[in-house]
Amino acid sequence: MSTFRALGVEGIPEVAAGDDLAELLLAGSVDGLPVAEGLRDGDILLVTSKIVSKAEGRIVLADDREAAIDAETVRVVARRGRTRIVENRQGLVMAAAGVDASNTPSGTVLLLPEDPDASARGLRKRLRELTGARIAVLVTDTFGRPWRNGLTDVAIGAAGLDVLEDHRGRTDSHGNELALTVTAVADELAAAADLVKGKATGRPVAVVRGLGHLVTEEDGPGVRPLIRNAAEDMFRLGTSEAIREAVTGRRTVRRFTDEPVDGGAVRRAVAAAVTAPAPHHTTPWRFVLLEDPDTRLRLLDAMLAAWNRDLSALDGWSAERIATRVRRGDVLRDAPYLVVPCLVTEGAHDYPDAARAAAEREMFVVAMGAAVQNLLVTLAGEGLGTAWVSSTMFCRDTVREVLALPAGWDPMGAVAVGRPADVPPPRPERGAETFIAVR
């Protein structure tokens, strides 16, 4: 039966900037022996990042911890009051960018090592020189975890160890092939070692023994394989941050790929759309999903004929001007999926005067706009691009006829949906002050 031991390293003195950390470790003992004698080939040394940072001089004066966090932050993932989960300059997503105000003199904060992988490689090399032992080194830090309460140690730097073990292609005890299982070995080791290190025992180093088969001759790629890139991270933002990103990142798309659109994603977006506010406790939205290619083509052809007919009747409109205007509808023809939002004003109040009647309709139109905005933002969150164009509003009777819609359904444009064919150029940040009047 496979077994391993986790051993705390005792007697390590206080670490200061410029110290040779490997030399200090030799002052300690492991398994009752001085480290120089106690380290064995195949041991895995786990070192708390705090003492690595201290040795590397990563202590900075900072009366304002928040300013230090700002300086170490690349991207805010989530914020709740003063608590921030961020991506730091090492590429790690964690609370407060790893800036720590504990176990450091008052008025200072401790930053993570500049390059934890390099720190692990350097310590491994130096200990090999001093002891002759072929070991692996992990630099660890304390993390919170999505979905679960409580903290645990994880690896933030590694040398001499494959941090992931890929089980895909293997079979389980029942003969089932494993298709998804990749184990975070380095994090499992960090958590196990933390049981004998502890947060307040003055024991910042541990040795895991009995898993020598995990130790590699080369230093390896470090912890980089453990860090999921943003494109693959389904939880790369907190809820409110994801909504804000979807809102600010939503752009009108004019060119789409031919990749099919998942109708389920559109239905989820409609479910979000119909949570919009509406007057008089009504539900004035209907969404026609054009999933049948023949129906969509018949609608677009009929709309094109109506546009040409109506524009040709206008005085002063040349054939060229009409063709230019009609081409604006090409985005609908080229998109793989169309949605026609319709306004239904059932429940509207009747007013005898035109002004009040117009205001009543405007209330419903505003509700329609809110619903469509919910739709567009939710589709953006699904990774889909959209273009909301006014086309159907100029030939409502034609749209109702082709789609066999009730007379009370009022088409309010059309939304083209698909995967964007181009990456949109950066949009300058638009501050709120220009659009605010305070009285």
Architecture of the domain delimited by 5-58+112-232? 2-Layer Sandwich (3.30)
pLDDT for 225 beyond 90: yes
DSSP 8-23: EPB-PPPP-TT--HHH
Question: What is the distance between the alpha carbons of residues 29 and 36, in angstroms, rounded to a whole number?
Answer: 8
Question: What is the distance between the alpha carbons of residues 88 and 70, in angstroms, rounded to a whole number?
Answer: 9
- Strand pairing partners for 273? none
Please provide the size of the chain in residues.
Answer: 439
Q: Which of 381, 378, 430, 374 is nearest to 236 (CA)?
A: 381
Domain boundaries of the chain, sorted by first residue: 5-58+112-232, 239-435
Do 5-58+112-232 and 239-435 have matching folds? Answer: no
| pLDDT for the residue 248 | 73
Instruction: Reply yes or no on domain 239-435 having CATH 3.40.109.10.
Output: yes
User: Using one digit for the tens of pLDDT, what is the confidence trace for 96-112?
Assistant: 899 988 777 778 899 99
Question: What mean pLDDT is predicted for residues 141-150?
Answer: 88
Full strand arrangement of the beta sheet holding 5-8: 5-8, 205-209, 44-48, 136-145, 148-159
Question: What is the distance between the alpha carbons of residues 137 and 139, in angstroms, rounded to a whole number?
Answer: 7
Q: How confident is the model at residue 365 (pLDDT cuts 50, 70, 90)?
A: very high
Distance of CA 357 to the CA centre of its chain: 46
pLDDT for 1 beyond 60: no
pTM, 2 dp: 0.69
Question: What mean pLDDT is predicted for residues 13-20?
Answer: 93
- Per residue, what are the HEC states of 188-255? HHHHHHHHHHCCCCCCCEEEEECCHHHECCCCCCCCHHHCCCHHHCCCCCCHHHHHHHHHHHCCECCC
| pLDDT for the residue 414 | 94
Q: Which of 12-26, 238-252, 359-373, 409-423 shows the lowest mean pLDDT across its residues?
A: 238-252
Q: Which of 244, 246, 245, 237 is nearest to 384 (CA)?
A: 246
Q: Identify the three-state secondary structure at position 167.
A: coil
Q: Identify the three-state secondary structure at position 419.
A: coil
- Strand pairing partners for 159? 137
Q: Which of 126-130, 301-305, 324-328, 346-350 has the highest mean pLDDT?
A: 126-130
- Strand pairing partners for 108? 61
Mean pLDDT of the chain: 89
